[in-house]
Amino acid sequence: MKERPRSETSLDRLKYEVARELGLDDDIEERGWSRLTTREVGKIGGGMVRKMIRRARREWDKNPDPPS
């Protein structure tokens, strides 16, 4: 089995985390990712972006001065 890059597995974990928070994890189990509606996939993607922005802002707050 080909090993996936760490970033891909991180995104997969984030995707499942957001789906679970939205209550879509049961739908994914029953229908699979390919059978989700555009609206459901959009909610997951939007939630992922919001979480990534929040994490980036927290990191920025920890170290606001970029290296010279």
pLDDT of 63 reads 81
- Cβ(44)–Cβ(22) below 8 Å: yes
The stretches in the chain having pLDDT less than 50 are none
Number of C-beta neighbours around residue 24 at 10 A: 20
DSSP states of 2-66: PPPPHHHHHHHHHHHHHHHHTT-HHHHHHH-GGGS-HHHHHHHHHHHHHHHHHHHHHHHHH--S-
- Which tens digit of pLDDT belongs to each residue from 31-49? 999 999 999 999 999 999 9
pLDDT of 62 reads 85
Overall pTM surpassing 0.95 (yes/no): no
